[in-house]
Structure 1
Amino acid sequence: MKYLILVSHGEFSKGLRTTLGMFAKESMDSVIAVGLQPDEAVDHLSKRFNKTIDELPENSKFVVLADLIGGSPLTTICNILEEHGKLQDSLVLGGMNFPMALTTLLSKDAMDNETLKSVALSEGSSAIKEFESKSDDSSDDEI
């Protein structure tokens, strides 16, 4: 099975997982949320995630979405995946947002990592835009 691991500082990954469940309830058994809590040592996060990995089937594969590339939560998770010999075959992306996570969740089993990377990054970046409210300016033109 290919798992989607959401990695963040604080509760962001858990909140994102909850929201994904509103759209893709049938796929949630393959989503793991991991967050480095305030005042938590990375050693504790490492132990928690190691326990999670140990409970998964040996042939598991991973797609990792993180809030921030280079942050302690992601580097810790990547170190654990490397220790288990799983990092090389994993796809790891940063800057996660909801559209990126939903697309990744729904596409991870149907696409190879290179195609999934392209689609997920495109979806994540195209979702970032300004909301523009359309107003009725016709009343301003009347005198």
Structure 2
Amino acid sequence: MRYLLLVSHGTMAPGVSSVLDMLVGHHDNVLVCNMPDGMGADKFVENLKKTLTPVGADDEIVVLGDVIGGSPLTNTMNVLTEKGLLSHTHAFGGLSLPMAITAVMGDDVAFDELASQIVDEGRAAIREIEIDLTDDEEDEDDL
């Protein structure tokens, strides 16, 4: 099985999971572990290990974390290493909804190709909205 694991500070990961449920339906293979304000790394790791209970040695894992180098993603990588799951894992920082949708909808895509698609989708989703403030209509007074 392929799992999507969302990890974050605060409520970002549960929030993204909630929106995924709303937009693409509930998927049992989406796992969530977050680190609310005031939670220590030890408690996060304890919760993460419980969250990873359904993951088996042959399963694939896509990890989307909020910040590279942040405690949730760093501890997640440590736990996956400890469990011997790192060779079946693609991990990303910069968690976004478009990346999560791509990951959850990519069940029929080869694992390495899915990783590429997730990065491409994350990049494509980052754009500044260009607002045209010019007035296309000429005022009658200007004629």
Q: CA deviation at 1:136?
A: 7.2
1:96-115 → structure 2 map (5 Å cutoff):
96-107=95-106, 109-115=107-113
Which residue matches 1:51?
50
CA distance in 1, matches of 2:82, 2:56: 16
Q: Aligned partner of 2:34: which letter?
A: G
- Percent of aligned pairs with the same residue? 35
Q: CA deviation at 1:88?
A: 1.6
Q: Secondary structure at the match of 1:29?
A: coil
2:59 touches 2:88 (CA, 8 Å); kept in 1?
no
- Check if 1:41 corresponds to 2:40: yes
1:30-73, CA deviations, whole angstroms, 9 ceiling, x for partnerless residues? Answer: 11111111111100011111112224445432110111111110
Structure 1 residues 141 and 115, CA, compared in 2 at 3 Å: closer, same or farther? farther
Q: Which runs of 5+ in 2 are unaligned?
A: none
- Report the TM-score when normalising by structure 2: 0.88
Larger radius of gyration: 2
CA distance in 2, matches of 1:96, 1:31: 14
Q: Aligned partner of 2:35: which letter?
A: L
Number of paired residues? 141
Q: Which runs of 5+ in 1 are unaligned?
A: none
More helix per residue: 1
Which residue matches 1:21?
21
Q: Secondary structure at the match of 1:130?
A: coil
Q: Secondary structure at the match of 1:103?
A: helix
